[in-house]
Amino acid sequence: MTILVTGGLGFIGSHTVVELMEQGRDCVIIDNLSKSTLNVVDRIEAVVQKKVPFLKVEMLDKIALREVFKAYNISSVIHFAGYKSVGESVKQPLLYYQNNLISTINLLEIMQEFDVKKLVFSSSATVYGDAHLPPLKEGLALSAPNPYGRTKLMLEEILRDFVAANTEWSIALMRYFNPIGAHKSGLLGEMPYGTPNNLMPHLLNAASGETEKLQIFGGDYNTEDGSCIRDFIHIMDLADGHVKALQYVEEDFGCEAFNLGTGVGYSVLNLIHTFEAVTATKIPYEIVDRRDGDIVISIADVEKATTVLGWKAKYRLKDMCIDSWRWYQTVKGYTI
Ligand code: WQD
């Protein structure tokens, strides 16, 4: 029985495929290569020392998607494929609504055709919006501050409605906090395309001298050091969370949301200082104006994933920094 991993060449998808294969599960990856590159297949295979089937598939093309289910005996799906840049979604909302919503609806319809009823869906902590005090718990009212976040919110609603009408299905909605870090081998990591959006790629570029300095968006928030606070989680913990969620949907029924975070918040400046300490590398930075749409504090309540999935994050902030730096040096060809 094979697990279909959509968007499996992306940051979270590739690390999850490694975890699944190292636990003896058979996977097939589909990806449209719009935000990833083919050499990630080679890197995954180098890590697991085994071939992994990959098909270049555009999920907006139902015929192509159907061919995957014809070719492989798919038992369950982990669905990562989707655009995820907040900034890009504001500039191109229709691109995000069409891509993220239609590809997921296509997937559900093809899964129905082939009687595949187990799905782990890549959602995001962004669905909590900015109306709640931390720690954020799964049952809170949801809202989304941008088109990207609204696609995740709409898809959660679509999936809930779908399971209400198809009670023999099992779907897990995975709400990520802030994934950083990289596989310990240095062969896999976050390789953003175009201008990076989130913090770690910018931090790494400043640490290496690729850019002159890191811009910190706001230093006057009501926090200990004035910078925003986030629940940074190691990508390997996130991958393990998906493996546990897959085991859960394979044994259960219904539609459940799960936070994947550490439950501990660190400020942007905490992260910078930790990175500097563990890598002995100075990061030049300047504090600039706040970024529109930023929430001050985002920290997960992780009780549900711990009690229901038997999952808990293992890695600490310094591991995330060391592993990110190793990945950056490898991919940029620096000596480690
Ligand atoms: C983190 C903090 C910035 C860049 C986003 C998405 C969310 C999820 C994770 C997908 C903020 C500050 C950032 C920089 C900075 N993605 N920052 N300088 O906004 O918490 O969440 O990524 O699921 O959906 O919204 O992550 O890394 O962009 O920002 O000071 O160059 O770092 O202001 O306080 P965010 P981020």
261 and 231 in contact (C-beta within 8 Å)?
yes
With a 6 A CB cut-off, is 176 part of the ligand 1 pocket? yes
Q: How far is the CA of 250 from the centre of ligand 1 (A)?
A: 33
Distance CA 336, CA 326 (A): 7
Q: What is the pLDDT of residue 192?
A: 62
Distance CA 259, CA 105 (A): 23
279 and 329 in contact (C-beta within 8 Å)?
no
- Asked if residue 109 is part of any domain, the answer here is yes
Distance CA 214, CA 285 (A): 4
Q: Judge residue 30's burial from the number of C-beta atoms within 10 Å of its C-beta, 0-12 exposed, 13-18 middle, 19 or more buried.
A: buried
Closest CA relative to residue 25, chosen from 59, 74, 89, 93: 74
Distance CA 243, CA 25 (A): 10
Q: Regarding beta strands 229-230 and 266-267, do their DSSP bridges make them parallel or antiparallel, or are they unpaired?
A: antiparallel
3-state secondary structure of 51: coil
Of all helices (H) and strands (E), which one includes residue 232? strand 232-234
- Asked if residue 63 is part of any domain, the answer here is yes
Q: How confident is the model over 126-168, as pLDDT tens digits? A: 999 998 999 999 999 999 989 999 999 999 999 999 999 999 9
Report CA Rg, the chain. Answer: 19
Range(s) of the domain holding residue 63 = 2-182+233-261+302-311
- Asked if residue 136 is part of any domain, the answer here is yes
- Asked if residue 68 is part of any domain, the answer here is yes
Q: How confident is the model over 52-79, as pLDDT tens digits? A: 999 999 999 999 999 999 999 999 999 9
- Asked if residue 47 is part of any domain, the answer here is yes
3-state secondary structure of 279: helix
- Asked if residue 329 is part of any domain, the answer here is no
Distance CA 187, CA 44 (A): 8
Closest CA relative to residue 182, chosen from 35, 5, 14, 4: 14
Backbone angles phi, psi at 229, to 5 degrees: -115, 135
3-state secondary structure of 26: strand
Distance CA 188, CA 234 (A): 13
Here the CATH number for the domain that contains residue 143 is 3.40.50.720
Angle at 45 between CA 275 and CA 330, to 5 degrees: 30
Enumerate residue ranges in the chain where pLDDT < 70.
Answer: 192-196, 334-336
Q: What is the pLDDT of residue 123?
A: 98
Site to substitute for ligand 1 among 136, 151, 178, most atoms within 8 A of C-beta: 178
Distance CA 102, CA 244 (A): 27
Distance CA 264, CA 280 (A): 24
Q: What is the pLDDT of residue 332?
A: 79
Spatial CB neighbours of 316, under 8 Å, sequence gap ≥ 6: none
Please state the domain count of the chain.
1
Compute the Cα dihedral for 69, 193, 258, 160 and give only its sign: negative
Q: What is the pLDDT of residue 120?
A: 98
Query: Which residue's alpha carbon is nearest to atom 9 within ligand 1?
Result: 178
Spatial CB neighbours of 15, under 8 Å, sequence gap ≥ 6: 183, 188, 235, 236, 238, 239
The atom number, within ligand 1, closest to the CA of 146 reads 25
Query: Which residue's alpha carbon is nearest to atom 23 within ligand 1?
Result: 124
The atom number, within ligand 1, closest to the CA of 291 reads 33
Q: What is the pLDDT of residue 194?
A: 61
- Asked if residue 12 is part of any domain, the answer here is yes
Verify whether residue 148 is a known catalytic residue: yes
Distance CA 232, CA 323 (A): 13
Query: Which residue's alpha carbon is nearest to atom 28 within ligand 1?
Result: 198
Query: Which residue's alpha carbon is nearest to atom 17 within ligand 1?
Result: 199
- Asked if residue 268 is part of any domain, the answer here is no
